């Protein structure tokens, strides 16, 4: 299976699938469909049933049950996303494959002096003796989430070529635009027809997540007044200065670079400005819903304060919720978490249940009626040029999928 996963992974990352947050279409970039169409072709060649790619870029497919007729077995879904983050270049990916990693610092790009030092990335030492795949320093790698795709596809091929392996009905789903928060905007849960599902979109080996941030976005428009600087006294209102002043009202200790575990944050992700007009954009995150609401209230109160100081209409706020903590939807079906824990142990993986400091398609799907915890895909340093993944972690993730399938099938035979 290891060779199968490696070949698949390298094939999938060779396709640029970056999503586009500025595009109004679904999917947001046409190039995502190149990978989606390839996946449809490969699934059909395996003999998987009901393979379809819809107008919004969703791939859905079914592996039929091989259990005796009338056996009641839950329908289990496995989901990954085809798009890669637009945070770093995703085209012309040139991966480096380091076999039998010796535990030393890894030179990503000598010309750019990009070195992944074990002193800065100590988790590398966990993978001594394994095969590590890195970037060449010019692009991201795309393991988020093409590793998840490769793991699901390898498991699907195994199931289709091993009819003796017990399984209920298995659903496969690949989504676009997860990286820009639109991954399941038009996902048809009823059509997918699973009782529950797992996303393969987590980080390092062993991660298992059924809690995530509550999330909102805040876009703030600031109207300044531009006057010739030689005659600006008591007249000029510099929108850039006002934006900086607004940012200073938010608690410094609640920036992402100072938070961890269950701590939420305000993260400024964009700042565009001239004297006349400025725009600042934040993402707001917290696992605790009450603290999440408090953070949004602080944004609104700060807007009110600034408008009182500089005049009504100087600051204009667009505040929108994005997704919520899936814990509330998953806990009533906690057996799906327990099954994943057992499946990991069967694969020789130590489960590490932890909250996601982010979100997945599964967080929104859980609120759409499809409880959906998140399983590790195996990668590290997502969204950047230092991204890497151990091949053995991908192999273990695929084994975990098969173990989940077996556990539910055996339980109901």
Q: Which of 16, 151, 169, 178 is catalytic?
A: 178
What is the sign of the dihedral through the CA atoms of 197, 199, 203 and 204?
Answer: positive
Angle at 170 (CA atoms; ends 368, 388), nearest 5 degrees:
80
What is the sign of the dihedral through the CA atoms of 264, 269, 273 and 277?
Answer: negative
Whether the CB-CB separation of 115 and 363 falls below 8 Å is answered with no
What is the sign of the dihedral through the CA atoms of 172, 177, 182 and 185?
Answer: negative
| Residues counted in the chain | 413
Whether the CB-CB separation of 265 and 215 falls below 8 Å is answered with no
Strand ranges for 64-136 from DSSP E: 76-81, 96-98, 106-109, 114-116, 132-134
The residues pairing with 225 across neighbouring beta strands, listed in sequence order, are 237
Query: Does 83 participate in catalysis according to the annotation?
Result: yes
Whether the CB-CB separation of 147 and 397 falls below 8 Å is answered with yes
* SS3 category, 64: coil
Q: Which of 83, 144, 157, 209 is catalytic?
A: 83
What is the sign of the dihedral through the CA atoms of 338, 339, 345 and 351?
Answer: negative
Give the helix/strand (H/E) hosting 293: helix 289-310
Strand ordering across the sheet containing 388-390: 96-98, 132-134, 388-390
**Beta-sheet pairing, 207-209 with 114-116:** unpaired
**Beta-sheet pairing, 277-286 with 265-273:** antiparallel
Distances (CA, A) of 274 to 81, 191, 239, 243, 304: 37, 48, 7, 10, 22
Whether the CB-CB separation of 306 and 164 falls below 8 Å is answered with no
Tell me how far apart the terminal alpha carbons of the chain are, to the nearest angstrom: 27
Q: Is the peptide bond before 27 cis (omega within 30 degrees of 0)?
A: yes
Scan for tokens 């939807």, then name that residue.
Answer: 329
Residue 391: both structure tokens together: 């091949």
Tell me the catalytic residues.
83, 178
């Amino acid at each position: 299976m290891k060779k199968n996963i490696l070949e698949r992974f390298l094939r999938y990352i060779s396709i640029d699938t970056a999503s586009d947050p500025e595009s109004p279409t679904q999917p947001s970039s046409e190039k995502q469909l190149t990978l989606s169409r390839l996946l449809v072709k490969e699934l059909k060649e395996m003999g998987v049933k009901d393979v379809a790619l819809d107008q919004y870029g969703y791939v859905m497919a079914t592996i039929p049950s091989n259990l005796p007729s009338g056996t009641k077995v839950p329908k289990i879904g496995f989901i990954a996303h085809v798009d890669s983050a637009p945070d770093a270049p995703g085209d012309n990916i040139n991966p480096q494959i380091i076999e039998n990693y010796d535990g030393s610092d890894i030179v990503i790009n000598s010309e750019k002096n990009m070195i992944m030092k074990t002193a800065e990335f100590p988790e590398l030492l966990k993978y001594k003796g394994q095969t590590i795949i890195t970037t060449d320093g010019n692009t991201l790698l795309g393991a988020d989430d093409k590793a998840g795709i490769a793991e699901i596809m390898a498991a699907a091929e195994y199931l289709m070529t091993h009819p003796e392996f017990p399984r209920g009905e298995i659903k496969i789903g690949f989504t676009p635009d997860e990286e820009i928060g639109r991954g399941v905007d038009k996902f048809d849960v009823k059509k997918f027809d699973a009782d529950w599902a797992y996303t393969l979109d987590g980080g390092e080996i062993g991660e298992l997540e059924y809690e995530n941030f509550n999330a909102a976005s805040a876009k703030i428009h600031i109207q300044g007044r531009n006057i010739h600087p030689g005659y600006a006294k008591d007249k000029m209102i510099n929108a850039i200065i006002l934006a900086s002043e607004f940012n200073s009202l938010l608690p410094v200790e609640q920036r992402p670079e100072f938070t961890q575990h269950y701590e939420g944050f305000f993260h400024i992700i964009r700042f565009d400005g001239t004297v006349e007009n400025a725009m600042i954009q934040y993402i707001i995150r917290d696992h605790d819903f009450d603290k999440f609401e408090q953070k949004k209230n602080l944004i609104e109160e700060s807007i009110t304060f600034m408008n009182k100081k500089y005049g009504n209409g100087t600051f204009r706020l667009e505040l929108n919720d994005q997704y919520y903590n899936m814990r509330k939807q998953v806990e009533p079906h906690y057996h799906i978490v327990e099954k994943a824990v057992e499946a990991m142990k069967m694969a020789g993986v130590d489960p590490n249940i932890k909250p996601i400091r982010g979100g997945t398609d599964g967080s929104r799907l859980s609120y759409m009626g499809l409880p959906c915890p998140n399983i590790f895909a195996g990668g590290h340093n997502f969204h950047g040029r230092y991204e890497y993944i151990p091949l053995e972690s991908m192999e273990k993730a695929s084994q975990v999928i098969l173990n989940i399938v077996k556990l539910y099938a055996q339980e109901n035979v």
